[in-house]
Structure 1
């Protein structure tokens, strides 16, 4: 028996497995291994250390382990953050394997819907959002002796908030907290200037050359060009797997379908004798965890007819960093990303396709050279790359509405207006967010403190409007139904991600027919509820798979909704004033009460039809903007002039849209939140005010003249 076999793992008090020694040899071969003594010395002698390391250096797994061993006498934990759930899962699994322990013991994992952390946990791999949740309960993060922020260069909203918090903790806990900031790109000056007194250390990555190829001229269709490049690489390129970066989920499925058709589907271009086999895998955030892991770990098909098999992964920017994709030697980069951007002036969202930054493009190209020399094909001209792309990506915190972020900052005991942002959002955005939160009753009149309602909202991992719906739903007797509906809205992005992608006219007609079958006359919200309840019924009957296939639904989305529902239920049960209540579907007011419960949280997102001659044009009450109804599940019936919506969106120019829309009787609006509707001064002049005054007069029996002068007491029928 070898001496290795007799060594005892101090974390398990058992002999190390044979795999441990294999993993240790591989870890010692990583570029970061030779730098660890210098890095550990820097950590020992400084409160804040910034580590700049190329992708593939091993810093994500090796440095946290080494720091943990250095601080092992301290009974507290080390937290290692990741920007995405999939990255957190894979990193935790890798570190646990190298330490020869199961995930959930010494190495823990925490992210939304997952809490594998116990008393024995010493190294906790968490999403940055989960660490923000911990900071809201314990603003000084006293349970941790070291915090490692990974992928800081990506500037996710949660990471940037953590950096601001850690800047203060570096002073408040300078004697007992080690802070390590890790970035894959050379923007160390930004972090170094943000943390005075910090030291910067650089770790080299693996030196595998990646050759770059650009388009000779701009492509008319990026999808067609990407597919053609995939086929050319598969036929003539050197061995190795192919990774494609697409702008969005829609393009992912289009690319995969076109490749499969070209390799022997309905639009045959190449036969099995022409090329080797290829397996195609989508990879994006809305896939189930199992589907994501299959895409990452699946191996390329075996050689067939003397030709090499390949694995094709078509991904969003989820695959840029942290996730190890073995065997990739070809990267095909669309050089595009779709970003959701908030316009503070008219309170609209815009989904904009734009160029990635040069730094992101370099990260993507680097994926081809992780194990050996590779090739990266950029779907832009070389001139376009240098002239049109920014050096670094715009931080996400500068593109959002700051509603949730302002609540989180207030919960951590700071002011959103004076918080030390590493890159600050516009002051106008913060002021607008505080105004909306004040109207929702989440903060006090001065905007400096959370109300009890605001404290409750911060505990719920949904948007603030949906949180209000959930908290108010028991008074309408439908908290069970609202849990299901809100969970479906979260998982499906308001119905946008729910059905399989349709490519042909026939497929589009089939899905339109299915949508119509589930459609509720009021519109999107209750249609989503109908789909969820039908799936739950099929699951109970053991026919879920057949149901999904027949109705062309994405099972991962419905399972995600189920998981979100359970998570929300656990949180809500901790609220003393909240109760789980459900209604009989036989009640005549079954759907009306659900609409009323929705209106209790969406009263700031209401619009009225412009005129009967233009039934899809509505005027929003919040800013008197004219917008058209645009719905993925089918527009509401024209019986009602009033609608509530989940998203007010822009095309980036002059057109405005309302998305995830439901018609609602105005009486339901007024009775759902009577206090809000007492003062008509906030309303636009004209037909909206006239219509609302008539509604209140009918509900209260008061005169219209009296109501125009000031709202009477709250109308009856509030539940």
Structure 2
């Protein structure tokens, strides 16, 4: 059933006075949550909320929730649903348990929690709290919690019934993050066993039929939005250089158009840095009498909270020489929903999204940058009209928008390998093969994920989670990295492994740690900077060296000089530091036996021990070079796939030390397969790390890989070749040209 909140419904609202329009809501002089007088700012906030469409709909929405267990709320941008509806549910005293409100991002969680606390007129962390990895602003008296969807999923692994919560509000459901979709599956199950649980699903744009069908008996309510006029402009031709077109557009807006901040949507972190560099360089070509001051801020999920707060809360530069200053935020999709960036009057939309698509058959990822969906484009444009009239510039043609942009984005659950997610489902006590996914992963993805988890000892032969799998599920990195972190205790290098995994995570396998060079001279300087940190083993330890050198510089207070002189992005290193603190905190909380072992740098095997621990997590991601005559061509041990080294690798020239390599990622680009983040590894260390894997009857290497392994195994064990692999084929295979 569906009820639209029409003007007639609003006219009948108890908030409306027939003679004077919307009347101020009456409230007592004392705040019932604090037993203290309301603050002077509270009446102002109450008056502000009267202007939001959801306010007039509150009586109807609350009654619907009282009468039903699941309510789907479709509210357009600016409706106020994200903060006002949860606040009113709290005030309606529908449950003696806590109210949980999810957001997809840490930043949105923080801002939403703080805003709801303001509306309730309490200090964040008291009646209204917020939680995400690395921050817990709650107390025993907290009645409403705003949490990331990922954290609520983590809580469900230790409390699968989510017994602390009586009402759970899932916001931004249309984003279809994997965590949100898994939570919806869990809630669907819990509704069968917990008769006291109520669920609210909210979004600005949503396929409402999908959600009402998924939750039989749910009720749909639609609330209008509050949006100022937004003027949309397109390019006449598709640009050859999107970054260049964005930079030109930003500078043109700053030079010729009315005041207000500019929000730029980029496809990813690397493009963010390129745009900021281009704008700052372009600004330098104008004199102070020609163009006002500007300041650029990156905004993406991998930034530290301090850097995110800087982007959100910093003010525009002051007027100088009669010319207004302007703030420019260059963001990923983190800025599309749930957060209000004050003062934004212009949006420049690249129109692009970066996708990483898993191929379960090849066990590779394909990287592609493609046009964003129409739904995403509309969401991005809406950022310009939140507080005043706005303008959006789309970096593609109008024809491309209508004919090439899909209507909706592909759910993330269809794109990834699902290893970490299946492990979480298992930790909650469900079988991934039968879990009620809202959007079901491909069958091949499910089969491959279960096979890999079994090889990693995360699940047993029956598909049940193992003790190691439980520990891996609690570590917020991919399962291979989690396995290496757990193994590092045995090699007494857990401190170093945490640092390594943190810089890998923050820099996306090292792909955007260094500033992009603009000419040959600068490229020479960047290469020289990379060479200073290069380790003979390859990419992993080279990244580790950079991060450790930055930490040393930070202790002496010279981190800024270090970053500038080595052409590094300081925000990436700060993000790595934040990730490391989060991982360490989680390990100490979830594992009482966790110990932070630090290797003495004087140990002659310092780097070797780190590589041995790395092998314990990465033994499934190994390749062997066929011949020195083809130095950049390797064959993967597990799939027998011919691959090349990434152009960015610092692995040394071909010799016997790098005949075997570990890689972090296998990806397809322009019809070729590449290994990303590559380091040399001795096969003896691989076998020592996971001896059982190499003797499995299902493990059937051939050709030069078989011959290479035979030499090592017979040397280590003294076994005859026929007892190792039996009648496995020995004829070499050749790489395709």
TM-score of Structure 1 vs Structure 2, range by shorter chain = over 0.9
CA distance in 2: counterparts of 1:644 and 1:51, whole angstroms: 48
Give the equivalent residue in structure 2 for 1:98. Answer: 119
Aligned pairs (5 A) from 1:165-176? 165-174=186-195, 176=196
Q: 1:590 aligns with which of 599, 606, 612?
A: 606
Q: What SS does the aligned partner of 1:325 have?
A: coil
The answer to whether structure 1 residue 223 and structure 2 residue 240 are counterparts is: no
> Residue 66 of structure 1 is aligned with which of 88, 93, 101?
88
Alignment counterpart, residue 726 of structure 2, candidates 695, 705, 709:
709
In the other structure, the counterpart of 2:668 is 650
| TM-score, normalised relative to structure 2 | 0.91
Residue 185 of structure 2 is matched in structure 1 by 164
1:349–1:650: 8 Å Cα contact kept in structure 2?
A: yes
Task: Report the CA distance between 1:186 and its aligned residue.
Answer: 4.3
Q: Secondary structure at the match of 1:56?
A: coil
Q: Contact 1:417–1:430 (CA<8 Å) still a contact in 2?
A: yes
Of the three residues 530, 538, 543, the one matched with 1:515 is 530
Match of 2:583 among 561, 568, 581: 568
Give CA-to-partner distance per residue, 1:346-381, whole Å, 9 cap, x none: 111122101111111111111111122222221221
Structure 1 unmatched ranges of 5 or more: 712-719
Per-residue deviation, 1:87 = 0.9
Q: Distance in 2 between matches of 1:475 and 1:366?
A: 52
Answer yes or no: is the 8 Å Cα contact 2:298–2:330 preserved in 1: yes
Distance in 1 (CA, whole Å) between partners of 2:206 and 2:540 is 46
The answer as to whether partners of 1:637 and 1:663 remain within 8 angstroms in 2 is: no
- 1:279 is matched with 295
Where in structure 2 are the equivalents of 1:372-451 lying within 5 Å?
Answer: 372-447=388-463, 449-451=464-466
> What's the CA shift for 1:631?
5.9
Alignment partner of 1:147 is 2:168: yes
Q: 1:55 aligned to 2:73?
A: no
| Residues in 2 aligned to 1:256 and 1:676: alpha-carbon distance in whole angstroms | 47
3-state DSSP of counterpart to 2:392:
strand
Match in the other structure for 2:280: 260
Deviation at 1:540, TM superposition (A): 3.3
Superposed CA deviations along residues 537-570 of structure 1, whole A, max 9, x for unmatched, are 3333343343333333333333333333333334
- Give the Cα–Cα distance (whole angstroms) in 1 for the partners of residues 200 and 686 of structure 2: 50
How far off its partner does 1:637 sit?
Answer: 5.0
How has the CA–CA distance of structure 1 residues 275 and 508 changed in structure 2, closer, same or farther, with 3 Å as cutoff?
same
2:3 corresponding residue in structure 1: none
2:686 corresponds to 1:682: no
Indicate which of 355, 378, 394 corresponds to 1:339.
Answer: 355
Cα pair 1:636 1:663 within 8 Å, conserved? no
Q: Which residue of 2 aligns with 1:717?
A: none
Cα RMSD (Å) of the superposition?
2.2
Q: 1:636 to 1:464 in 2, by over 3 A?
A: farther
Is the contact made by 1:332 and 1:379 (CA closer than 8 Å) also made in structure 2? yes
> Does the residue aligned with 1:24 lie in a helix, a strand or coil?
helix
Q: Indicate the SS of the match to 2:384.
A: helix
> 1:477 corresponds to which residue?
492
1:192 match: 212
CA–CA separation in structure 2 for the residues paired with 1:287 and 1:580 = 25
Q: Which runs of 4+ in 1 moved over 4 A?
A: none
State how far apart, in whole Å, the 2-side matches of 1:491 and 1:77 are.
Answer: 34
| Structure 2: gaps spanning 5 or more residues | 1-25, 729-737
CA distance in 1 between counterparts of 2:564 and 2:251 reads 30
Whole-Å separation in 2 of the counterparts to 1:283 and 1:185: 23
1:291-334 Cα deviation digits (max 9, x unpaired): 21121122233444444433222211111111101222222211
Residues 398-439 of structure 1, C-alpha deviations (whole Å, 9 max, x = no match): 000010111111111222122212111111111110010011
Q: Deviations over 1:447-482 (max 9, x none)?
A: 2x1111111111111110111111122222222222
Alignment check: 8 A CA contact 1:110 1:124 kept: yes
Q: Is the 8 A contact 2:227 2:382 kept in 1?
A: no
How much has 1:285 moved relative to structure 2?
Answer: 1.9
Which has the larger displacement, 237-246 or 179-188?
A: 237-246
Mapping of residues 301-340 of structure 1, within 5 Å: 301-340=317-356
The 8 Å contact of residues 495 and 632 in structure 1, kept in 2 or not, is answered as no
2:103 is aligned to: 82
TM, length-normalised to structure 1:
0.93
Is the CA contact 2:700–2:725 (under 8 Å) kept in the aligned structure 1? no
Task: Provide the residue aligned with 2:365 in structure 1.
Answer: 349
Secondary structure of the residue aligned to 1:682 is coil
Distance 2:324 2:581 in 1: 45
Return the alpha-carbon distance in structure 1 between the equivalents of residues 593 and 652 of structure 2.
Answer: 34
The one-character-per-residue Cα deviations of 1:69-119 (angstroms, maximum 9, x if unpaired) are 1126x4421111111111111111212222222222222111122122221
Instruction: Please give the alpha-carbon distance, in whole angstroms, between the structure 1 residues aligned to 2:282 and 2:556.
Output: 39
Q: Verify the 8 A CA contact 2:294 2:328 in the aligned structure 1.
A: yes
Verify: 1:121 aligned to 2:142, yes or no.
yes
Q: Is the 8 A contact 1:417 1:427 kept in 2?
A: no
1:181 is aligned, of 183, 197, 201, to 201
Q: Structure 1 pair 681/187, CA: closer, same or farther in 2 (3 Å)?
A: closer
Helix, strand or coil at the partner of 2:626:
strand
Partner of 2:519: 504
Alpha-carbon separation, structure 2, partners of 1:681 and 1:172: 41
Listed as ranges, the matches of 1:126-137 within 5 Å are: 126-137=147-158
Alignment partners' CA distance in 1, 2:620 and 2:29:
64
Partner of residue 44, structure 2: 22
Q: Displacement, 1:636?
A: 4.1
**For 1:669 and 1:21, how far apart are their aligned partners in 2?**
66
Q: Deviations over 1:166-220 (max 9, x none)?
A: 122223223x111100011142111111111111111111142222222222222
Report the equivalent of 2:252: 232
CA distance in 1: counterparts of 2:92 and 2:652, whole angstroms: 62
After TM superposition, the structure 1 stretch with the greater mean CA deviation from structure 2, 147-156 or 375-384, is 375-384
Instruction: Quote the residue 2:4 is aligned against.
Output: none
Q: Find the aligned partners of 1:327 and 1:15 in 2 and give their Cα distance.
A: 32
SS of match in other structure, 2:634: strand
Structure 2 residue aligned with 1:11? 33
For the Cα contact (< 8 Å) 1:357–1:389, is it kept in 2? Answer: yes
Asked if 1:660 corresponds to 2:677, the answer is yes
Partner of 1:715: none
State the alpha-carbon separation in 1 of the partners of residues 83 and 179 from structure 2: 21
Alpha-carbon spacing, 1:680–1:190, altered in 2? closer, same or farther (3 Å): closer
Question: How many Å separate the matches in 2 of 1:451 and 1:599?
Answer: 20
Q: Does structure 2 retain, via aligned residues, the 8 Å contact 1:521–1:637? A: no
- Displacement of 1:51 after TM fit? 0.6
Answering whether residue 384 of structure 2 is matched by residue 362 of structure 1, we say: no
